[in-house]
Amino acid sequence: MSNLVVIGFNDEHTAFEMRAKLIKLQKEYLLEMEDVVVVTKDAKDKVKLHQAVNLTAAGAAGGSFWGMLIGLLFLNPLAGAVIGAGAGAISGKLSDIGIDDDFMKELGTTLTTESSALFVLVRKATPGKVLDELKGFGGKVLKTSLTVAKEEELQKFLDENSEA
């Protein structure tokens, strides 16, 4: 079972830095994430989602490949690639894997101006090693599916290990 953890930051870039660190830890097999998204709220109070994977672009690339392949069968690979790219882009835009976008936007509206939040859906982790690598980031736990005791433990760690 996966766990959702949402950590808020008082600026717009710390969430991006923590996401980069988590991706590095995933490459080292210390963590397995299903999804990781940064949500920012700018000076005009506009909420923006920064997905790690652009599903529209991925869908277009996959669709153009399959469309071109099918187009070869009908002796028109260019038309097949164009139609496939369009269909793939639409499919990618409509698919939502991981954390629900509407949930992230809704929680993003509660952020203060020029702040950010990191949404992480964790499948597996080596907690001790991961936490050691996250020292210095700080932050505030906004939402989680962890037990109350684990949530309090995480917040205590963030409080004790913030740079400020």
Least confident of 9-18, 25-34, 155-164: 155-164
Same domain flag for 108 and 156: yes
Same domain flag for 156 and 105: yes
* Predicted pLDDT at 159: 87
92 contacts 59 by C-beta, under 8 angstroms: yes
Same domain flag for 126 and 86: no
Same domain flag for 46 and 107: yes
Same domain flag for 71 and 145: no
Same domain flag for 59 and 90: yes
Residues 115-135: tens digit of each pLDDT: 999 999 998 888 888 888 888
- At 77, the amino acid letter reads P
Q: How many domains does the chain have?
A: 2
Same domain flag for 61 and 139: no
Beta bridge pairs of residue 120: 5, 36
Residues 69-120: tens digit of each pLDDT: 566 666 666 666 666 666 655 655 554 557 888 899 999 999 999 999 999 9
Please give the share of the chain, as a percent, with pLDDT higher than 70. 71
* Predicted pLDDT at 120: 92
58 contacts 89 by C-beta, under 8 angstroms: no
Q: Is the pTM of this model over 0.85?
A: no
Residues 15-62: tens digit of each pLDDT: 999 999 999 999 999 999 888 999 999 999 999 998 875 444 455 556
CA atoms within 13 A on the CB side of 1: 3
What torsion, rounded to 10 degrees, do the Cα atoms 124, 130, 136, 141 define?
Answer: 30
Same domain flag for 47 and 103: yes
* Predicted pLDDT at 144: 86
* Predicted pLDDT at 55: 45
26 contacts 162 by C-beta, under 8 angstroms: no
Same domain flag for 107 and 156: yes
Q: How confident is the model at residue 2 (pLDDT cuts 50, 70, 90)?
A: confident
Same domain flag for 106 and 60: no
- At 107, the amino acid letter reads L
Where residue 139 sits, what CATH number does that domain have? 3.40.1520
DSSP state at residue 126: -
* Predicted pLDDT at 52: 72
* Domain boundary pick from 44, 77, 94: 94
φ, ψ for residue 104 (rounded to 5)? -65, -40
Same domain flag for 103 and 154: yes
Least confident of 1-15, 55-69, 146-160: 55-69
For 88, the domain range is: 55-94
Same domain flag for 125 and 111: yes
